[in-house]
């Protein structure tokens, strides 16, 4: 069912950050940094996949994501909701259910046998597709999914995520140059603000995290192992 009322964007961001902290999806460690997929260190790590195990929070955030997309892109803007393999698949299904639209998913690469498909489900030429994922860092991984969608003859001008890092410059510009607009619920800055208010982490950790968020590349270079 499509939500008909929702809080302003700033309140959605605060509540989303609060929920992510509540379920332990936010990990901060300045003394023993995490290693990102890029191989670079980070004092922050977020695990949005945990959301699927919390029905009340999951439902609320999917309501938020649905109304955010409709508010920013339009109430009749899409014909198909596509999830990116693998983290985006459950969230795409939940958004599609709310919008009463077909759901598909996009593989990272052709599966290598049978139809050798990247698109699973029914996607047809001319459909306007919303790509749903759990998060984005610099937007780069979205472009391959968008290209696979467009190869079917469908269009993809929007992608929606629960969490957007919001610290690497040029992300939205990169997507924009590819003809894609990003919609999101919250960023690391929202999480940092909520973590300060709630006292979820000690002051020294939050200070180091803020230094990372302010100049991530400099922090990574200084903490490279």
Residues 150-206: pLDDT tens digits? 999 999 999 999 999 999 889 999 999 999 999 999 999 999 999 999 998 999 999
- Rounded to whole angstroms, the Cα distance separating 63 from 98 reads 8
- Rounded to whole angstroms, the Cα distance separating 80 from 38 reads 31
| Contact in structure between 191 and 20 (CB atoms under 8 Å) | yes
- Rounded to whole angstroms, the Cα distance separating 82 from 106 reads 7
pTM: 0.94
List, in order, residues 6 or more apart from 136 with CB less than 8 Å away: 142, 159, 161, 163, 164, 165, 171, 182, 184
CATH 3.40.50.2020 fits 9-217, yes or no: yes
1: pLDDT confidence band, cut at 50, 70 and 90?
Answer: low
């Amino acid at each position: 069912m499509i939500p008909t009322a929702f809080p302003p964007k700033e309140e959605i961001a605060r509540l989303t950050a609060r929920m992510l902290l509540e379920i332990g999806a936010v990990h901060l460690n300045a003394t023993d940094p995490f290693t990102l997929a890029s191989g670079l260190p980070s004092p922050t790590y977020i695990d949005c996949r945990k959301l699927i195990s919390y029905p009340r929070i999951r439902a609320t955030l999917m309501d938020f994501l649905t109304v955010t997309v409709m508010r920013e892109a339009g109430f009749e803007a899409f014909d198909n909701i596509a999830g990116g393999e693998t983290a985006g698949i459950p969230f795409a299904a939940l958004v599609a259910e709310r919008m009463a639209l077909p759901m598909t998913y996009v593989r990272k690469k052709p599966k290598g046998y049978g139809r050798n498909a990247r698109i699973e489900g029914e996607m047809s030429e001319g459909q306007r597709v919303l790509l749903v994922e759990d998060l984005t860092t610099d937007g780069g991984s979205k472009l391959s999914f968008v290209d696979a969608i467009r190869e079917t003859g469908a269009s993809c001008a929007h992608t929606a995520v629960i969490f957007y890092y919001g610290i690497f410059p040029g992300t939205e510009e990169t997507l924009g140059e590819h003809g894609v607009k990003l919609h999101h619920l919250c960023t690391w800055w929202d999480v940092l603000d909520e973590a300060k208010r709630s006292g979820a982490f000690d002051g020294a950790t939050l200070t180091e995290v803020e230094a990372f968020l302010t100049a991530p590349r400099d922090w990574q270079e200084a903490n490279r192992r």
